[in-house]
Amino acid sequence: MAFDFIDFYILYKDHPRYNNTQMIEDDVIRIILQKWEMILLTNRGELLCDPSFGGDLLKYLHETKLSSEYIEGELRGQIRDYIPELEDATYILSVKFYEDPENYQEWMEVYLELNDYQVYAAIK
């Protein structure tokens, strides 16, 4: 699978790889990971031109009747709709909940594995 990308630079100012003079010409994996990061960090309704874009993870974390399988299904829907580069790729996606009784909270871990890349997101 050979792709050639020229895309807008979507890293935010405090991101460790941010460079305000750079335009992306990159491989498909970095494009996928940037899109994945955008999905994880965006709530539905925040993107004015597309109100269904976003992971809504903070909202889901505090819903009492949702399973990790439901949230995983929602994230797979986001991948299907907004990351077409993953259509033919093999990846692993999992969502798990953990309890932290000492701090009276629970947290969610979202894990994506693609080739040699492993991305963990912890939502508290």
Pairwise CA distance, residues 1 & 85, whole Å: 10
Pairwise CA distance, residues 63 & 23, whole Å: 39
Residue 64 has pLDDT above 80, yes or no: no
- pLDDT tens digits, one per residue of 8-39: 556 667 777 777 666 555 578 888 888 999 99
Note whether 119 and 94 are within 8 A (CB).
Answer: no
- pLDDT tens digits, one per residue of 48-63: 889 999 999 888 887 7
The H-or-E segment that residue 117 falls in is: strand 117-123
